[in-house]
C-alpha cells in the first residue's frame, strides 16, 4: 500500500466525508490508497504504530480545528520515527494562514482548499516525478460533474454504527464574517439525480441516518423539494423502518411549497439546524449577515407550531457590537418561539475568516490556541465571557439534553436568559465544575435551586419526577437520535 489517507475524527461516530472524497477521486492511484481514521484523545505513539503498519510512502492528513494540535504531535513523531514518509496536509485548518502554522513546518506538502483533483496529482508527482517544487499547492476546483461521489466508500460498519455525512452542494452565497463559508461567495450544486441515486444505494444498504453538510439546504427550492420527496417516498414505503435526515437552513427563506413538504414529515424524521446567530440588526450589519428578522422569527414559529421538525437554532455570543443585554434580548426572543434546542455558541476566530477586521474597533481578544474562542471584547470583559461559556455548557446539560423538559419552564420563568444566568452562576459556585456532573446530582441541584427561588419541596420533587428524576427514566425507542427522542417524548 502506497498512500494512506488519515484524520483524527472528533468521535468514532463521525465518519470522515473528506477522506472518502479523496479516495474516490484518486484515479489510477486508487488501488494503492487506503483510509485509516482515528479518534482524538488516542495515544500518539499508538497512532504512529498503526500508520507504520500500513508501510505507506505518503500519508495525507485531514486537518481541522478540532484535531490540529493532536495532528501536529502525530506528524512530528511520525517524521522522527519514519522521516522517509512524505506527509501531505489538507483541510480547512491549513488552508488559510498556512505559512505561519507549526504543523505546516513539520510537513512536506500542503494542499489548500479543494483537494479532489490536486491531491492525487501531487501524489502522482511525488511517486513518479517530476518532484514538486512548491510546498503549498492551491487546490484546483474542478467542475462538479468531474468529482467522483464517495458514498459507496461508506462501509457496512459505517452504515450500521456511524453518522453518514452527505452533501448535495458545496459552498454558500452569504458572507457572514465569522464563517469560513463566507469566502465561497457562491454555492455549487452536484447533479441532483446522480446524488439521489447514491442516496438510494445507501438506503438500500441499510442507511437510515443522513446528515447533510450543505451550508444552506433551502437555497434552491426545487432541489430541496426533490431531496425531501426522496425521504418522503422512503417513509411512505416503509413507515415501520423510518429514515432520518438533518439539514442546515437559512431562517428567512421558507416558501409555501417547502412548508407543504416539511409538514408531511412525521415526528422523528427531520431535524433542522437554523442559524440566527444574532437578532441584533447592528451586529448583523457588523458581520455582513443579511437576515430578515421578522421573517426568520415567523418561520421558526411556523416550524415549531405546524411541523414535526426537531429544531436546533444557533446563537453566537461575543460578536462585534453584541452586549450581554442585547444577546439576552435575542435569547429570550428565540426561546419564546419554541425551538427544541438553542445552540449557544461562543464566537471563534476561524483561520481565514474576515471577522478579524473588527479586532481593533471592538477590542476582540481571541485565545491563540484552537478552537480560537473569543476571551473578551469591548462590550464583554473576560470574567463575563467566562460566565457565558459556563451558561452555554450548563444550557446544553439542562435544556438541550431534553432531560428537564418540564422543569426547564419553571427554571426560566419570565426572563429566561437572566434566570438561567443566575442558575448557572449558582451551579458553578456550588459544584466548581462544568463537566462530570452526574445526572442524579444535577437533578438534585436543580431541585435545590428551585426551592431557593421559592418553590415548595414537594412541588419541586413532583416537577422533577415528571422528567423522570427520582423515578425510573422512560426508555424510548425510535430511529431519531437519543437527544431528539427525549424531546419528542416530553
Ligand atoms: S453562517 Fe451560514 S449563511 Fe452565513 S456564510 Fe456561513 S454557511 Fe453561509
Least confident range from 171-185, 206-220, 404-418, 458-472: namely 458-472
Q: Considering the domain boundaries, does residue 153 fall inside one? A: no
Q: Contact, 63 vs 93, CB < 8 A?
A: yes
Q: Does 250 contact ligand 1 (Cβ within 6 A)?
A: yes
pLDDT tens, residue by residue, 355-391? 999 999 999 999 999 999 999 999 999 999 999 999 9
Task: Render 167-219 in DSSP notation, one character per residue.
Answer: -SEEE-S---TTSGGGGT-SEEEPPHHHHHHHHHHHHHTT--EEEE--S-TTS
> CA dihedral defined by 68, 74, 78, 81, rounded to 10 degrees?
150
* Per-residue pLDDT, 474: 42
**Ligand 1 nearest atom to the CA of residue 179, by list position:** 6
My answer on whether 54 and 14 are in the same domain is: yes
Measured in Å, residue 342 CA sits from the centre of ligand 1 at 17
Instruction: Classify residue 388: in a domain, yes or no.
Output: no
pLDDT at 488: 67
Residue 95, classed as helix, strand or coil, is coil
Interval between CA 170 and ligand 1 midpoint (Å): 12
Q: Are residues 16 and 125 in the same domain?
A: yes
Please tell me the predicted confidence (pLDDT) of residue 470.
82
Co-location of 348 and 233 in the same domain? yes
Asked if residue 115 lies in contact with residue 139, where contact means CB atoms within 8 angstroms, the answer is: yes
What is the pLDDT at residue 482? 72
Contacts of 123 (CB under 8 A, 6+ apart): 3, 26, 29, 58, 60, 88
Atom of ligand 1 nearest to the CA of 277: 1
Best mutation site among 177, 182, 214, 291 for ligand 1, i.e. most ligand atoms within 8 A of its Cβ? 182
CATH of the domain at 86: 3.40.50.2300
Atom of ligand 1 nearest to the CA of 173: 8
Question: Does any ligand 1 atom lie closer than 6 A to the CB of residue 202?
Answer: no
What is the distance between the alpha carbons of residues 70 and 76, in angstroms, rounded to a whole number?
A: 10
Report residue 472 as a C-alpha cell. 425510573
Q: Average pLDDT for residues 399-424, to the nearest whole number?
A: 97
For residue 397, which of 349, 445, 360 has the smallest C-alpha distance? 445
Query: In 3-state terms, what secondary structure has residue 3?
Result: strand
Confidence bin at 485 (pLDDT 50/70/90): confident
What is the rounded CA–CA span in Å between residue 4 and residue 37? Answer: 10
91 CA from centroid of ligand 1 (Å): 18
Ligand 1 atom with minimal separation from the 289 CA = 4
Q: Is the CB of 258 under 6 A from ligand 1?
A: no
The reply to whether ligand 1 has any atom less than 6 angstroms from the CB of 178 is no
| 215 pocket-lining for ligand 1 (C-beta < 6 Å) | yes
Decide if pLDDT at 304 tops 80. Answer: yes
Looking at 115, 144, 173, the residue that finishes a domain is: 144
Residue 275: CB within 6 Å of ligand 1? yes
Asked whether the predicted pLDDT for residue 151 surpasses 70, the reply is yes
Are residue 102 and residue 168 in the same domain, yes or no? no
Model confidence, pTM: 0.94
Question: Which CATH number fits the domain that encloses residue 226?
Answer: 3.80.30.20
Q: What is the pLDDT of residue 471?
A: 53
| Nearest ligand 1 atom, CA 180 | 6
Distance of alpha carbon 38 from alpha carbon 59, whole angstroms: 14
CA distance 286 to 364: 13
Write the CB contacts of 410 (distance below 8 Å, at least 6 apart in sequence): 450, 455, 463
Which residue lies with its CA nearest to atom 2 of ligand 1? 215
Q: How many domains does the chain have?
A: 3
Residue 331 CA to ligand 1 centre (angstroms): 20
Range of the domain at 481: 401-490
Considering the chain, what is the average pLDDT of its residues? 95
Residues 32 and 134 grouped into a single domain = yes
Q: What is the residue with the minimal CA distance to atom 7 of ligand 1? A: 215
**Least confident window among 59-68, 433-442, 477-486:** 477-486
Instruction: Using alpha carbons, list the distances in angstroms from residue 202 to 160, 164, 244.
Output: 11, 9, 13
DSSP string, 289-350: ----HHHHHHHHHHHHHH---EEEEEEEES-TT--HHHHHHHHHHHHHH--SEEEEEE-B--
Q: Which of 184, 216, 218 to probe ligand 1 with, by most ligand atoms within 8 A of CB?
A: 216
Average pLDDT of the segment spanning 338-346:
97
Q: How far apart are CA 25 and CA 150, in angstroms?
A: 8
CA-closest residue to ligand 1 atom 4: 176
CB distance 187 to ligand 1 below 6 Å: no
Q: Is residue 316 part of a domain?
A: yes
Both 418 and 368 in a single domain? no
Ligand 1 centroid to Cα of residue 289, in Å, is 8
Q: Is 182 in the pocket of ligand 1 (CB under 6 A)?
A: yes
Q: What are phi and psi of 61, to 5 degrees?
A: -110, 135
* Residue 136: band (very low, low, confident or very high) from pLDDT cuts 50, 70, 90: very high
pLDDT band at 490 (very low <50, low <70, confident <90, very high): low
Least confident segment among 10-19, 195-204, 470-479: 470-479
pLDDT confidence tier of residue 480, bands split at 50, 70 and 90:
low
Residues 13 and 64 in one domain: yes
Using only the alpha carbons of the chain, give its radius of gyration. 24
pLDDT in tens, 449-471: 999 999 999 999 999 999 999 85
The predicted structure's pLDDT at residue 479: 54
Same domain, 179 and 103: no
On whether the CB atoms of residues 1 and 32 are closer than 8 A, the answer is yes
Is 176 a pocket residue for ligand 1 (Cβ < 6 Å)? yes
Number of H helices, E strands in the chain: 19, 16
**Last residue of one domain, picked from the residues 144, 171, 201:** 144
Average pLDDT over residues 46-56: 98
- Strands 365-366 and 169-171 come out as unpaired
Angle at 475 between CA 474 and CA 476, to 5 degrees: 115
In this structure, what are the phi and psi dihedrals at residue 239, rounded to the nearest 5 degrees? -65, -25
Q: Which atom of ligand 1 is nearest to the CA of 215?
A: 7
Binned at pLDDT 50, 70 and 90, residue 1 comes out as confident
Residue to substitute in 174, 249, 316 for testing ligand 1 pocket (most ligand atoms within 8 angstroms of CB): 174
413: exposed, middle or buried (Cβ count in 10 Å: 0-12, 13-18, 19+): exposed
Is the domain of 78 the same as that of 171?
no
Quick check: is 82 in a domain?
yes
Residue 333 lies in a domain: yes
Under DSSP, is residue 161 helix (H, G, I), strand (E, B) or coil?
A: helix
Distance between Cα 284 and ligand 1 center (Å): 12
Residues 235 and 302 in one domain: yes
Residues 224, 295 share a domain: yes
Distance 319 CA to ligand 1 centre (A): 14
Where among 347, 380, 413 does a domain terminate?
380
Q: Are residues 266 and 368 in the same domain?
A: yes
Amino acid at each position: 500500500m502506497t498512500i494512506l489517507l488519515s484524520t483524527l475524527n472528533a468521535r468514532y461516530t463521525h465518519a470522515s466525508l473528506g477522506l472518502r472524497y479523496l479516495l474516490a477521486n484518486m484515479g489510477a492511484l486508487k488501488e494503492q490508497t487506503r483510509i485509516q481514521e482515528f479518534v482524538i484523545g488516542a495515544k500518539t505513539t499508538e497512532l504512529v504504530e498503526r500508520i507504520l503498519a500500513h508501510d505507506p510512502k505518503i500519508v495525507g492528513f485531514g486537518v481541522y480545528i478540532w484535531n490540529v494540535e493532536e495532528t501536529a504531535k502525530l506528524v512530528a513523531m511520525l517524521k522522527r520515527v519514519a522521516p522517509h514518509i512524505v506527509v501531505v496536509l489538507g483541510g480547512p485548518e491549513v488552508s488559510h494562514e498556512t505559512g505561519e502554522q507549526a504543523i505546516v513546518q513539520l510537513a512536506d506538502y500542503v494542499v489548500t482548499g479543494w483537494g479532489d483533483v490536486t491531491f492525487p496529482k501531487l501524489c502522482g508527482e511525488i511517486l513518479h516525478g517530476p518532484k514538486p517544487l512548491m510546498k503549498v499547492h492551491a487546490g484546483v476546483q474542478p467542475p462538479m460533474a468531474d468529482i467522483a461521489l464517495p458514498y459507496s466508500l461508506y462501509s457496512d460498519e459505517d452504515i450500521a454504527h456511524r453518522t453518514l455525512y452527505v452533501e448535495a452542494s458545496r459552498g454558500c452565497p452569504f458572507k457572514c464574517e465569522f464563517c469560513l463559508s463566507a469566502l465561497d461567495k457562491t454555492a455549487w450544486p452536484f447533479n441532483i439525480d446522480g446524488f439521489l441515486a447514491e442516496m438510494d444505494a445507501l438506503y438500500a444498504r441499510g442507511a437510515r441516518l443522513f446528515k447533510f453538510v450543505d451550508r444552506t439546504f433551502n437555497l434552491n427550492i426545487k432541489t430541496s423539494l426533490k431531496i425531501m420527496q426522496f425521504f418522503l417516498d422512503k417513509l411512505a414505503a416503509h413507515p415501520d423502518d423510518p429514515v432520518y435526515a438533518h439539514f442546515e437552513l437559512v431562517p428567512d427563506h421558507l416558501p409555501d411549497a417547502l412548508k407543504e413538504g416539511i409538514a408531511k414529515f412525521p415526528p422523528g424524521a427531520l431535524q433542522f439546524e437554523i442559524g440566527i446567530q444574532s437578532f441584533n440588526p447592528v451586529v448583523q450589519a457588523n458581520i455582513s449577515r443579511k437576515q430578515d428578522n421578522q421573517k426568520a422569527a415567523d418561520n421558526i414559529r411556523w416550524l415549531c407550531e405546524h411541523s414535526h421538525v426537531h429544531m436546533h437554532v444557533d446563537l453566537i455570543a461575543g460578536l462585534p457590537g453584541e452586549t450581554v443585554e442585547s444577546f439576552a434580548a435575542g435569547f429570550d426572543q428565540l426561546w419564546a418561539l419554541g425551538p427544541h434546542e438553542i445552540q449557544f455558541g461562543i464566537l471563534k476566530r476561524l483561520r481565514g475568516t474576515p471577522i478579524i477586521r473588527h479586532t481593533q474597533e471592538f477590542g476582540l481578544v481571541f485565545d491563540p490556541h484552537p478552537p480560537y474562542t473569543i476571551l473578551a471584547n469591548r462590550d464583554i470583559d473576560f470574567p463575563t465571557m467566562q460566565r457565558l461559556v459556563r451558561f452555554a455548557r450548563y444550557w446544553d446539560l439542562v435544556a438541550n439534553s431534553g432531560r428537564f423538559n418540564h422543569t426547564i419552564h419553571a427554571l426560566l420563568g419570565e426572563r429566561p436568559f437572566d434566570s438561567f444566568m443566575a442558575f448557572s452562576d449558582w451551579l458553578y459556585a456550588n459544584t466548581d465544575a462544568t463537566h462530570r456532573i452526574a445526572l442524579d446530582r444535577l437533578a438534585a441541584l436543580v431541585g435545590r435551586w428551585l426551592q431557593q427561588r421559592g418553590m415548595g419541596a414537594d412541588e419541586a420533587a413532583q416537577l422533577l419526577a415528571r422528567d423522570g428524576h427520582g423515578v425510573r427514566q422512560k426508555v424510548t425507542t425510535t430511529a431519531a437520535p437519543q437527544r431528539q427522542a427525549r424531546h419528542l417524548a416530553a
